[in-house]
Structure 1
Amino acid sequence: MKNWKKSVYSIYTTIELKNLESNTISGEVITYLEELRVKLAFRMSIMFLCTFSILSYTRYFESMESFSMMAVATIISATCLIIMKLNNRNYLLVFYIYSICGYIIVAFALMVYHSRIHLVDVMWLMTVVFLAFFTLGRKLGYLLLFLSITVIGLFIFLHLNNQILILKELTNYQKISLLIELIAAFSINFYLFYLFLELNRYSERKLIESFDQLKEQNARISIQNDEKTTLVREIHHRVKNNLQIVVSLLRMQSQEVDNPEFRILFQESINRIMAMSLIHQKLYQNNNLSQVKIGDYLDDLVREIISLSINDENVHYQIDVEVDRIGLKTLVPLGLLVNELVSNSLKHAFFEVQDARIEITMKKGKEGWLYLTYFDSGVWKMNSATTSSFGLILIETLVEQLEGTKTVEKESLGTSYSFYLKNLEEMDIFA
């Protein structure tokens, strides 16, 4: 049982190692994203500073409205670049400044400056939303997206018609300036989209590496599990063989004993060892190396005990169980308990009984408890007060080991034992 617990602990440790490796991979992606954001804050500050400085110069000869807006954007870009130079860990502050101040500037231009074309302002709003999504999270991104749609809707319904009436034809200089601004806005949006794809590719590559590592680990674990399963099965097989050797030695020794009572004692010891040997036989024959089908085990055990009985009674037995499997921790005392009950019945209950019958039933109780009922149709006649004293003491000991209770009812038609026993493996699970 200790080996079984060690195996469970080993599996638990393996799962924890997998979780640790998964967390490590997630940590690598987060580190990569943080480094990417730091680089983005530097590069965006330089790009914005160069773009808006050029646009401020071109708009100075066009209109004061456009110039003032570009000048403010240039000052903000220079401020953010200084912040990053002082401490690059302040990149979140830089992104907040760009997102919030950028939205305010563009929204103000849309709602106040009606003498300029606002074609590029929509692209600047897209830049603000993309930047917030990529660097500051979904909540702020969704908020700025909602506010951007709102301000665009207000501009269309409140000011668009009026702007169409007052707009004049653009000069070639104004067209060039507008083209420069469009190219700058488009390039910045494309760069943000490119970084987003790079991050996705990096994450996908890490996930593929993680999946390959897990496949390799699962293959190794599968091989180790097969080796351990074979080893445990071989151990059960050897234990069963060793117990069979002990049984053979006891049988050989019993042949040299002339006293019938001593032979009975030898046979009782053989039956007890056989009950434990049968458990190991069932374990190495089954796929499940920690649990045994209790119905099959009891059927084989009772049949074997009856076949080895020194009495000649023709005893019929019936076994009815609701429980499918029971673990080794509970099965050993339970098997010894049934062995003692059947052996005592064969020794003391079926003299001058025409319908010799044994009935064993097992039902599930609450939270893993077991109801075991044993009935024989015999009339007990004890030869002496000490004949079965050891067997009765052993029954009491086994019931205590299973933390259960026992009641006995003797009637003219037979004797019935009722046991309320704890399934120790189930209690380990509930604990």
Structure 2
Amino acid sequence: MKNLGSDSIPGEVIAYFEELRVKLAFRMSLMFLCIFSILSYTRYFESMESFSMMAVATIISACCLLIMKSNDRNYLLVFYIYSICGYIIVAFSLMVYHSRIHLVDVLWLMTVVFLAFFTLGRRLGYILLFLSIMVIGLFIFLHLDHQIRILKALTIYQKISLLIELIAAFSLNFYLFYLFLELNSYSEKKLLESYDQVKEQNTRILLQNEEKTTLVREIHHRVKNNLQIVVSLLRMQSQEVDNPEFRILFQESINRIMAMSLIHQRLYQNDNLSQIRIGDYLDELIREIMNLSITEQTVDYEIKTEVGKIGLKTLIPVGLLINELVANSLKHAFEDVTDARIQIEIQREEDNYLRITYSDNGVWKQQIGNSSFGLVLIDTLIEQLEGTKDVCMQGCGTTYTMVILNLEEKDILA
């Protein structure tokens, strides 16, 4: 019941705990005042030792009752007084007063420990438990034999007084146990209510997630359709162009748009709306490029990848990169090659980087200048992916080695 934070516990629960602690402090003070007043009267005729203990307990109970009747109702102060002062009184009685029976003192120590655990927290409860065990052990080893030797038979008056004290101690411990059961029952009730609320919230979240999934899927579908419209317009426009070089430029632009359109098409058809298997995507992309290519030569290709799925943020630039490289190979490399072949390999590097190796076995018929739009686009895309490239052109082929950053994994780590 201690340290209830308003940030994590509903106000209704906090109010319930506050009311329970106020109720406990007030009822304990009233009960103690009545019990110890009666015991003070009965012990007055027994011995001054017993009377002094009960009188001090009566005064403490009266002070605590006044605190609870005040406007502040500082129940924590009341619990601290009962726990600490109660332990001191009982421990003093065990170690100093040897002429009285200490049968009930163990019950009072139990009450002190239970009260501290229940109202002030585990730390103070454990401390008082340790101190109680220690004082009981000292009493048994140091004073129990002496007390047994000096004790006398009890009068009927003393037996009644002892019975009253035993009933009081048992009643208080039972009341604390009852409050614990009541608190446990209330907690179970709130737990069930919270479970129902969470279940209802999860159902609502699932419905919202389905709606958002449908919406995102529809967005990808519309983006793909819009890109297809752009492609159709470019094709219609290219048919009105007589210059073959201009038609090639139109086709290159169409290929670039198709590379992006294919991503949205796969996302629309995929269960995962944020990632695509890069191997499958590149396979379909290269087949589309070759189908749209003006060359009639058969080109074999192979894709090897250690990477499974890649997110949209990285996949679009990678798709455009591969589109440019494949288009350049088909356009410049395979005119005099009988067994044309393209190979793409994707490997994982450290720090969320990917190594993409693109190679063909063609003999390039001309050297592309640095001002070529395709090469400028390749450099721009690599820079966007915070990567580097290395080009090796030999008589039997060209190899591009690119090290790029997987932007999605970078964002996750960030």
TM-score (norm. length: structure 2): 0.92
Are the structure 2 counterparts of residues 131 and 243 from structure 1 closer, same or farther at C-alpha, using a change threshold of 3 Å?
same
Residue in structure 2 matching 1:273, options 257, 261, 264 = 257
1:48 and 2:43 equivalent? no
Partner of 1:410: 393
Residue in structure 1 matching 2:347, options 351, 354, 363 = 363
1:318-397, aligned counterparts within 5 Å?
318-382=302-366, 389-397=372-380
Partner of 1:7: none
Give the secondary structure class of the aligned counterpart of 1:319.
strand
1:401 and 2:381 equivalent? no
1:200 and 2:179 equivalent? no
Partner of 2:219: 235
1:422 and 2:401 equivalent? no
CA distance, structure 2, for counterparts of residue 373 and residue 109 of structure 1: 87
1:239-318, aligned counterparts within 5 Å?
239-318=223-302
Give the secondary structure class of the aligned counterpart of 1:353.
coil
After alignment, is 54-63 or 249-258 more displaced?
A: 249-258
CA distance, structure 2, for counterparts of residue 402 and residue 151 of structure 1: 72
1:223 and 2:207 equivalent? yes
After alignment, is 84-93 or 52-61 more displaced?
A: 84-93
Are the structure 2 counterparts of residues 300 and 77 from structure 1 closer, same or farther at C-alpha, using a change threshold of 3 Å?
same
Are the structure 2 counterparts of residues 430 and 65 from structure 1 closer, same or farther at C-alpha, using a change threshold of 3 Å?
closer
User: Quick check: 1:25–1:210 contact (8 Å CA) kept in 2?
Assistant: no
User: Quick check: 1:22–1:210 contact (8 Å CA) kept in 2?
Assistant: no
Query: Which residues of structure 1 form unaligned runs of 5+?
Result: 1-20
Are the structure 2 counterparts of residues 97 and 239 from structure 1 closer, same or farther at C-alpha, using a change threshold of 3 Å?
same
Partner of 1:123: 107
Query: Which residues of structure 2 form unaligned runs of 5+?
Result: none
1:173 and 2:131 equivalent? no
After alignment, is 252-261 or 287-296 more displaced?
A: 252-261
Deviation at 1:87, TM superposition (A): 4.8
CA distance, structure 2, for counterparts of residue 200 and residue 384 of structure 1: 80
Partner of 2:97: 113
Deviation at 1:382, TM superposition (A): 3.0
Seq. identity, %? 77
Q: Deviations over 1:275-332 (max 9, x none)?
A: 1111011111111111111111111111111122111111111111222122112211
Partner of 1:101: 85
Partner of 1:15: none
Residue in structure 2 matching 1:156, options 120, 140, 143 = 140
CA RMSD after TM alignment: 2.2
User: Quick check: 2:298–2:340 contact (8 Å CA) kept in 1?
Assistant: yes
Q: Deviations over 1:44-83 (max 9, x none)?
A: 1111111000111112222222222211111111122223
User: Quick check: 2:317–2:381 contact (8 Å CA) kept in 1?
Assistant: yes
- What is the letter of the counterpart of residue 378 of structure 1? G
User: Quick check: 1:408–1:416 contact (8 Å CA) kept in 2?
Assistant: yes
CA distance, structure 2, for counterparts of residue 88 and residue 380 of structure 1: 92
CA distance, structure 1, for counterparts of residue 92 and residue 379 of structure 2: 91
- What is the letter of the counterpart of residue 154 of structure 1? L
After alignment, is 252-261 or 394-403 more displaced?
A: 252-261
CA distance, structure 2, for counterparts of residue 256 and residue 233 of structure 1: 35
The alignment covers a number of residue pairs equal to 410
- What is the letter of the counterpart of residue 73 of structure 1? A
Give the secondary structure class of the aligned counterpart of 2:343.
strand
Give the secondary structure class of the aligned counterpart of 1:382.
coil
Are the structure 2 counterparts of residues 156 and 24 from structure 1 closer, same or farther at C-alpha, using a change threshold of 3 Å?
closer
- What is the letter of the counterpart of residue 236 of structure 1? H
Q: Deviations over 1:133-171 (max 9, x none)?
A: 112222222222222222222222333333333322222
